[in-house]
Every structure is written in structure tokens, then in C-alpha cells.
Copies of this chain bind each other. A is one copy, B any other.
Amino acid sequence: MSQYRTFTAADAVDYARQFGGVENPESLVESQEIGDGNLNLVFKIFDRDGISRVIVKQALPYVRCVGESWPLTLDRARIEAEVLQIHGEYCPQHTVKILHYDPQLAVMVMEDLSSHAIWRGEQVNGVDYPQAAGQLGEYLAQTLFHTSDFYQHPHQKKADVIRFTNPELCDITEELFFNEPYEVHERNGYPRALEPLVASLRDDDELRQKVAGLKHRFLSHAEALLHGDVHSGSIFVAEGSLKVIDAEFGYYGPIGFDVGSALGNMLINYCALPGLLAPREAADAREKRLRDVSTTWQSFAEGFLALAAEKTQDRALARPGYAAEFLQKIWRDSLGFCGTEVIRRTVGMSQVADIKNIRDEAMKNECVRQAITLGRTLILAADRIEDADALIARVRQNG
């Protein structure tokens, strides 16, 4: 049994030689730490030709937030590795491959994705991947269906609920998604100019009652093994390819949380584009983003229904019509969680490059304002937005 120690660059190379599954392990000679250093160390391991071959990722025993340290269990490395292994079993084409992990060292070795780029960065730069949204929908359908009550034996599902109980990472979501953006809180990161708008969220009883309902569902609806943080920053894309990474927030939760997180980040990008690109390019990229929103949902919904029709194991849940009825619950949840994702990434602490990269301050404020009002609309109107077309109409109406 190994003992936890923080890896050096040399440790990472040694480890990759042992567990990287590379044919000539001795060809691995160098590493570079590419993580942001707040939550994890992430080492790229290079061979003699300077080509990166595998990734070594180690969890740190704390997360550095704005000005304070938040201690975090190393068990999240186990959860991340095991979620990705299970998701990889059901959707290998869109889940990063885990080659090895060690629970004591809180370290995992995984495939190198240097040929890919982080989707968020590409969206910020106006680079389009027309296939990505459909592939993301497929990932969501495969992973969420196969870990749900439709497919899992009740005993296996109950055992997995235990195995993926993730109190500390859920804690972060419970605070950052559902509490802080609606309170006066030092960690919030919205522009000061928007104080009146943000104050109006705090004073909106109906909104906060809806957010309470979403938080309650996040706390109690154990529908499937979620990724828990599917945003465009945890998705790698390349021409024809999409790979999801970073599943340390994984746990058994409401399916709409994953779907809504994915859609929410597309809508933040939609709101930010006028601040990121020239007007004509921005308008064009916005249309593509709306296409992505629609395609992600359609791909997920069709995939989920097809899997339900073909592979449902539970005798009661297999009734014709039930999966489609449940999909309506997922859709309503998705819209609400999508709204909370948009708000937590604009009002709250977890600011994103889509917004941060806008240089003109007035423009940035206007984009954020638009995102916040959209997020609020989605939370309030979740039960009245019938389908993806209606969602897109609402987005356009918002500005």
C-alpha cells in the first residue's frame, strides 16, 4: 500500500513509466505540470521526441478558493477514476480512458488528449465543431441511461449510490450553485455595476423558491451516476471527436443536472459572444451555439428513449410511454439547473473564460446582464418551456 505524497515532475515520469501502458516505458523522459494547481496536479508526460504520451493527475488535499483554503478529501480521485471507468464502459468513444489509478496516492494515469482542445476555449475563439453537440448528447444518454433505475439492478444501483456518495464535492455544488449567488457573499464574482440586478435576484421570492426546489432535487433525487460538472471546460473536442474528462463531482443525482450544466455553458457562451468576436462572426457563432443547444438535447432525448425501448431491465419502468413521461421531468429539471448554472458562473464564484475574456468593460457588463436575466427566466419558466424550440425562442427573446 502506497502512502500519499505530492508528486514532483520526476515522480510523475516514473509513475507514467510504470502505469502508462506505453510500449517503451524508458522513452518517457520529461513532464510538465499543466494544472491550475488549485485542486489537482496535472502532468503531461513527454517522450524523447517531445511528444506527450499520457497524463498523470493527482488530487491535492485542499482546494484554494478566493483567499481561503477548503480542505477536500483525496477520495475524490477514486470517485473521479471510477466514474470515468463506468462512463467509459457505456460510452468509450466520448469518455477519457483511465489507464490506472491508485487510491492511496490519489493519482490516475489517463490517455493524452493533446490532439484535442478544450471546447470552451474553442467556443471563445469562435471555432466550430459541428459534430460535438450530437456527441455530447450521446455521452449523456449512454452514461445516464445505463446507470439509472431503468437499466441497473436495484441492488447494484443501491451499492453504487453508496460507492459514489461524494459529500465534500457535493457540498461545493450545494453552496456555489444554490446558495451563494442568491446571497450577499464574498465569493461572488459579478461586476459591481450589476449590483442592482443581482440584488433583485436576492429579493425575488418566486425565483428563490424555485432554486430551493432545484437544490432539494439535487440533494434527494438519485436518478443516475452523474458526471456532476459537465461544462465546456471539462470537454475536449477535435474534428469528429469529443471526450469528457474531470468527473470528480460525480454522484447519484438528478439526470437534468448534467444535461442542464451542459446546456447552461453553451448559453453563457451565446451571451458572451458579442463581447468576444466581431459583430458578423459573433452573430454567426451565436446561431451555431443555439444549434448546439438544440442538437445536444435532441441527441440526448432520442438516445435515452431508444435505449429505454431496447434495454430497460425494470419490469415496471419498461411500460411503453413511461420513459417519454420521465423525459419530460428531465427536461423541466434541465431547464432549471441550466438557469442555476448560468447564474452561478456569472453572479457566483466560478467565473468562466467566455466572460473573463471580454476586454471592454461596458460590453462585459451587458453580456453578463443578459446571461443573468436568461438564467432567471429559465429557472422561473422551466415548467412552461415545452421543448428545445421554445427554449431557443426564449433565448432569442432575451436579447
Find chain B residues with CB under 8 A from A319 CB.
Answer: 205, 208-209, 211-212
Q: Quick check: B167 and A209 within 8 Å, CB to CB?
A: no
Nearest Cβ in chain B — how far from A327, in angstroms? 12
- Determine the distance from Cα of A227 to Cα of B371 in the docked complex, in whole angstroms: 45
Which of A42-50, A158-166, A238-246 is the interface stretch?
A: A158-166
Say yes or no: A212-B162 contact (C-beta < 8 A), given A179-B316, A316-B178: no
Which of A5-13, A15-23, A216-224 is the interface stretch?
A: A216-224
Chain B's closest residue to A155 (CB) is B167
Q: Quick check: A322 and B219 within 8 Å, CB to CB?
A: no
User: Would you call A314 an interface residue if the criterion is a C-beta within 8 Å of the partner chain's C-beta atoms?
Assistant: yes
Find chain B residues with CB under 8 A from A220 CB.
Answer: 149, 221-223
Q: Quick check: A322 and B212 within 8 Å, CB to CB?
A: yes
Find chain B residues with CB under 8 A from A221 CB.
Answer: 220-222
Find chain B residues with CB under 8 A from A183 CB.
Answer: 315
Find chain B residues with CB under 8 A from A182 CB.
Answer: 316
Residue among A178, A314, A326 facing the most chain B CB atoms (10 A cut-off): A314
Could you tell me how many residues of chain A have their Cβ less than 8 Å away from some Cβ of chain B? 41
Contacts of A181-222 to chain B: CB distance below 8 A: 182-183, 205, 208-209, 211-213, 215-216, 219-222
Nearest Cβ in chain B — how far from A213, in angstroms? 7
* Chain A 310-350 per-residue mask, 1 if CB under 8 angstroms from chain B, else 0: 00001111111110011000000000000000000000000
Say yes or no: A316-B167 contact (C-beta < 8 A), given A149-B219, A219-B157, A326-B213: no
User: Would you call A389 an interface residue if the criterion is a C-beta within 8 Å of the partner chain's C-beta atoms?
Assistant: no
Find chain B residues with CB under 8 A from A154 CB.
Answer: 167, 170-171, 174, 219
- Determine the distance from Cα of A155 to Cα of B174 in the docked complex, in whole angstroms: 11
Chain B's closest residue to A255 (CB) is B220
If over half of A's interface residues share one DSSP class (helix, strand or loop), that class is named, otherwise mixed; here it is helix
- Determine the distance from Cα of A315 to Cα of B183 in the docked complex, in whole angstroms: 10
- Determine the distance from Cα of A183 to Cα of B319 in the docked complex, in whole angstroms: 12
Find chain B residues with CB under 8 A from A222 CB.
Answer: 220-222
- Determine the distance from Cα of A220 to Cα of B157 in the docked complex, in whole angstroms: 10
Q: Quick check: B317 and A149 within 8 Å, CB to CB?
A: no
Find chain B residues with CB under 8 A from A316 CB.
Answer: 178-179, 182, 208, 211-212, 215-216
Find chain B residues with CB under 8 A from A321 CB.
Answer: 205, 209
Say yes or no: A326-B216 contact (C-beta < 8 A), given A167-B154, A171-B154, A316-B208: yes
* Chain A 145-160 per-residue mask, 1 if CB under 8 angstroms from chain B, else 0: 0000100001101110
5 A-B pairs with C-beta separation under 8 A: A154-B219, A155-B171, A162-B165, A179-B315, A205-B320
